[in-house]
A = this chain, B = another copy of it.
Amino acid sequence: MDLPNQSGFQSVIKARNLRMTNQRRQILQVLQESDEHLDAEAIYDRVRQKDARVSLATVYRSLTLFKNLGLVDERNLGEDYRRFETAQDEPHYHFTCLACRKVIEFNAPEIEQKIIPQIEAQGLKVTEAHLIVSGYCADCQRDQTRGKKHADTHLRIPNQTNLR
């Protein structure tokens, strides 16, 4: 079963005399099979389950490559680590629940149609735009039991107690 742009992957790889490795295929496939926003570690975990002897360094290297090839987009959703998802045709933006970490995507055509044009009218050239919204999802507003479940990716337990 081949995935959508596995072929587009091939062509863009060869065009730059890069090499089509198993690791790259696996890593890209994990991204394509997922509708979530995975971080490097989550991708690493999933790739190893499937089969390969892949190193975390290669995951990072491949993500950087895919990003530069336009196959994958990097997202910063207010965490201190980076998430990745396959590049979409339509731009979209992200809401993250501060309690359960669920990520909800949304469109905001005003950004592409009004805000960015206004910025570029001032002589700036825009290459990227991220609208990052955070708050509390409907479930977590209702529940007292906030932060119980952790949607959208695997759990990472931070350290900090510096909240005063």
Contacts and interface: CB of A to CB of B under 8 A. Distances in A.
Given A127-B135, A163-B64, A115 B110 contact: yes
A68 B132 contact: no
Interface string A153-164: 000000000111
A125 B108 contact: no
A133 B138 contact: no
Contacts of A95: 119, 124, 126
B110 A137 contact: no
B110 A61 contact: no
Interface in A59-104: 60-61, 64-65, 68, 76, 78, 95, 97-98, 104
A120 to B, nearest CB: 8
A108 B111 CA distance: 9
A127 B134 contact: yes
Q: How many copies does the complex hold?
A: 2
26 contacts: A61-B164, A64-B162, A64-B164, A76-B78, A95-B119, A95-B126, A106-B119, A108-B115, A111-B115, A116-B133, A123-B138, A123-B141, A124-B135, A124-B136, A124-B137, A125-B135, A125-B141, A126-B134, A126-B135, A127-B134, A128-B133, A128-B134, A129-B131, A129-B134, A130-B130, A132-B132
Interface of A: 18, 60-61, 64-65, 68, 76, 78, 95, 97-98, 104, 106, 108, 110-111, 114-116, 118-119, 122-138, 141, 162-164
